Structures are given as structure tokens and as C-alpha cells.
């Protein structure tokens, strides 16, 4: 009998820790992916519409920042947009008028060319009359002078038509510049309106207000946390098991959860996932000694446990509570 007891004791004592049908740890706590709310613009808090520990829904208004400066910025941006649009309308009107000016220059050029043809005919006729003695030299000279004048007028009208056509290109370039100015003004207005919307601080998720520090009249800086929203309907358990316990732990296994704050209550859960690294692996200073003396320490890895729904006692869980999960690895 003593030999049987000794053999049984040796087997039990030498059995791996992971061979047990139930794995448990008291290094486990309730967690939630809570969201910290911070303003996106700086300013003075105008109103606070929530209290500590108050439940809120996604989109609820939490607080407002004095928006007078931001309203003024929006109005100034709108004025810039209106000015840019007026500039575009003016340039478009100039382009329409320039088309009329081109037609006018074309008509003047056509009239000058007709007058030039008449002057050329007269110059030829008076030259012939002067050559055969039927006309005077003075008449010939006057016809030649008139021909030169009409050529100059024709050249002037042709240059005016070319300048009018070139002015269209100038106006089109100015119009493109005005459109770019309008786009910049509209972007400035959009930014100003976006900043104005940031003066209304809303809840990004549904949950319960915690760590509230926002007060009416206080000046807040962009990015400085004002409160936290904890989604108590989405809490989970993070249990840090010893590495020697995890050989048979897998996702989907049943978990019984005892909560220190709820004596006598047992919640049900399911293993959701196993952590990819031990806690010390994320530390800035490597804990693994590669030189000198060494003392082996059993590491712990986090196991995430999902709490099964439709459990009345689960609504009483709060982030940070200590729990003792028991994973049934034998199932």
C-alpha cells in the first residue's frame, strides 16, 4: 500500500500542469475598449450636457465650445467665396463683350479693305490720266496719298482685330485663375465650417461617462482628453495564465467566471483568443538576460475571454474588477 501511494504521488506530482482538466488563474480582470473624448479645436467650454456615470448613445451632444470666433471665420470665408464668384462672373461678361469687340474689329477691317480697293482703283485711274495728259499731276498725287492712308487704316484695323483676339486668351487665363481662387475660397470655407462643427462635442460610441473633467468656462486645448466613454455592454476578461497552463487551451472552450465583487455568482464565457506575446515582451527594456547569471521565471500570456450574452449579472460588471476564470480544457 505504501508503495502504491508513493507511485501515485510521484505520478501526480510529476504530471504537467497543463494536463489538468480545468485551468484557472486569479490574475484576471474585466476590460473594455473605452474611448477617450478630446476636442479637436481649442476654446472656452460654453456648456456641459452630461454628468458623471451617465449612459449616452452614439451621437449624443456632450458639450459645446464657444463658437463666436468660428462663426466669424465661416462668414469671412463665405465672403471670400462670394467675391471669387463675382470675379468669375465679371470675367465671363468681359469675354462676352470681347466677342462683340472682335466682330466690330472685323467689320472695321472689312470697311478699310473696301476703301483700300477703291483707293487703289482711283490711284490707277488718275495715274493713267496724268500719263496721257488728260489729268493733272496733283490729282494723281492726291490719289496716291489716299491709297497710302487707306493702307495704313487697313493695317491699323488688322492689328486691332489681332489684339482683340489675343485679349480673349488673356481673359480666359484670368478666368482660370479666378476659378482657382474660387476653389481655394470654397476649401477655406469648408475648413472653417468643419472647425465650427468641432465646437459641438458628441459621443463617438455608446456607453457610460467616466473620468469626466470638462467644466463650463474652462479653456480646453485640442487633443486634451475631457472624458472617457466606457461601453459596459462590450466588456471582456483578460486573464494572464502561466505559460505552463496553455498547452491545451484553445479558442471556443467554455469558461466559468467568478467575480470578486459578486460572491456566489458564476458567469459563463468562452475563450476568444490567446495573446501573441507575453506581457514582458512589450516592455521597453528587454527582461531576457543574455549574459551573466540567469534565473528562470515562468512567463504569463494574456487570454481574452468573451462573456456570453443574456446574463443578468453581466450588466453589473465594471472595468477593472478582479475575476477568477476556470477554463474547461477537457471538453
- Mark whether 74 and 192 lie in a shared domain: yes
Evaluate if residue 138 carries a pLDDT over 60.
yes
Final residue in a domain of this structure, among 136, 170, 196? 196
Percent pLDDT > 70 in the chain is 93
Domain final residue pick, 196, 216, 248: 196
Beta carbons within 8 Å of 54's beta carbon, 6+ residues apart: 208, 209
10 domain-assigned: no
Domain at 292, CATH number: 2.40.30.170
What is the reported pTM?
0.72
Judge whether residue 314 has pLDDT over 60: yes
What CATH number should be reported for the domain holding residue 86?
1.10.287.620
Alpha-carbon span 87 to 304, nearest angstrom:
63
In this structure, is residue 118 part of a structural domain?
A: yes
Nearest residue to 270 (alpha-carbon basis) of 239, 232, 308: 308
pLDDT tens-digit map of 176-222: 999 999 999 999 999 999 999 999 999 999 999 999 999 999 999 99
Q: 255 and 169: one domain?
A: no
Res 29 pLDDT > 90: yes
42-85 pLDDT tens trace = 999 999 999 999 999 999 999 999 999 999 999 999 999 999 99
Residues 246-284 pLDDT 10s: 988 999 999 999 999 999 999 999 999 999 988 888 877
Same domain, 139 and 259: no
Instruction: Decide if 128 is inside a domain.
Output: yes
Residues 81 and 104 in one domain: yes
Question: Which of 215, 232, 249 is at the close of a domain?
Answer: 232
How far is it, in rounded angstroms, from Cα 76 to Cα 185? 10
Q: Is the pLDDT of residue 303 over 60?
A: yes
- Model pLDDT, residue 283: 79
Same domain flag for 74 and 97: yes
Give me the pLDDT at residue 204, please. 95
Do 159 and 83 have their domain in common?
yes
User: The domain that contains 43 carries what CATH number?
Assistant: 2.40.50.100
**Average pLDDT of the segment spanning 87-107:** 85
**For residue 165, which of 118, 102, 112 has the smallest C-alpha distance?**
102
pLDDT above 70: residue 13: no
Q: Angle, nearest 10°, between helix axes 68-131 and 137-197?
A: 170
Q: Are residues 28 and 44 in the same domain?
A: no
Q: Give 320 or 114, the one with higher predicted confidence.
A: 320
Residues 171 and 272 in one domain: no
151 plus 255 within the same structural domain: no
If one compares 163 and 184, the residue with the highest pLDDT of the two is 184
Structural domain total, the chain: 3
**250 shares a domain with 205:** no
- Asked if residue 10 has pLDDT above 70, the reply is no
Average pLDDT estimate for 137-145: 75
Task: Please state the length of the chain.
Answer: 331
Going by the DSSP 8-state scheme, the letter that residue 20 receives in this structure is S
Which structural domain range is residue 37 located in? 33-66+199-232
CB-based contacts of 89, cutoff 8 Å, min separation 6: none
**Which percentage of the chain shows pLDDT scores above 90?**
58
Amino acid at each position: 500500500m505504501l508503495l502504491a501511494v508513493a507511485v501515485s504521488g510521484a505520478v501526480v506530482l510529476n504530471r504537467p500542469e497543463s494536463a489538468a482538466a480545468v485551468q484557472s488563474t486569479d490574475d484576471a480582470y474585466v476590460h473594455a475598449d473605452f474611448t477617450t473624448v478630446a476636442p479637436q479645436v481649442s476654446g472656452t467650454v460654453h456648456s456641459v450636457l452630461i454628468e458623471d456615470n451617465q449612459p449616452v448613445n452614439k451621437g449624443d451632444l456632450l458639450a459645446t465650445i464657444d463658437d463666436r470666433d468660428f462663426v466669424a471665420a465661416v462668414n469671412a470665408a463665405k465672403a471670400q467665396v462670394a467675391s471669387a464668384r463675382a470675379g468669375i462672373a465679371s470675367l465671363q461678361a468681359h469675354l462676352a463683350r470681347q466677342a462683340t469687340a472682335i466682330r466690330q474689329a472685323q467689320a472695321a477691317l472689312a470697311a478699310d479693305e473696301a476703301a483700300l480697293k477703291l483707293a487703289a482703283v482711283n490711284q490707277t485711274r488718275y495715274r493713267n490720266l496724268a500719263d496721257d495728259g488728260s489729268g493733272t499731276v496733283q490729282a494723281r498725287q492726291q490719289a496716291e496719298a489716299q491709297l497710302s492712308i487707306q493702307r495704313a487704316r487697313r493695317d491699323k484695323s488688322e492689328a486691332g482685330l489681332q489684339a482683340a483676339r489675343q485679349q480673349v486668351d488673356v481673359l480666359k487665363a484670368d478666368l482660370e485663375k479666378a476659378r482657382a481662387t474660387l476653389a481655394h475660397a470654397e476649401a477655406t470655407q469648408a475648413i472653417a465650417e468643419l472647425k465650427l462643427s468641432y465646437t459641438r462635442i458628441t459621443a463617438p460610441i455608446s456607453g457610460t461617462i467616466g473620468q469626466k473633467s470638462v467644466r463650463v468656462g474652462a479653456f480646453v486645448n485640442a487633443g486634451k482628453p475631457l472624458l472617457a466613454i466606457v461601453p459596459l455592454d462590450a466588456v471582456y476578461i483578460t486573464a494572464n495564465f502561466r505559460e505552463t497552463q496553455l498547452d491545451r487551451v484553445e479558442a471556443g472552450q467554455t469558461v466559468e467566471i467568478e467575480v470578486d465583487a459578486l460572491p456566489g455568482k458564476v458567469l459563463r464565457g468562452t475563450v476568444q483568443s490567446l495573446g501573441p506575446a507575453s506581457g514582458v515582451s512589450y516592455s521597453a527594456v528587454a527582461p531576457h538576460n543574455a549574459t551573466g547569471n540567469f534565473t528562470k521565471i515562468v512567463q504569463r500570456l494574456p487570454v481574452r475571454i468573451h462573456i456570453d450574452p443574456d446574463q443578468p449579472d453581466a450588466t453589473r460588471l465594471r472595468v477593472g474588477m478582479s475575476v477568477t476564470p476556470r477554463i474547461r480544457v477537457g471538453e
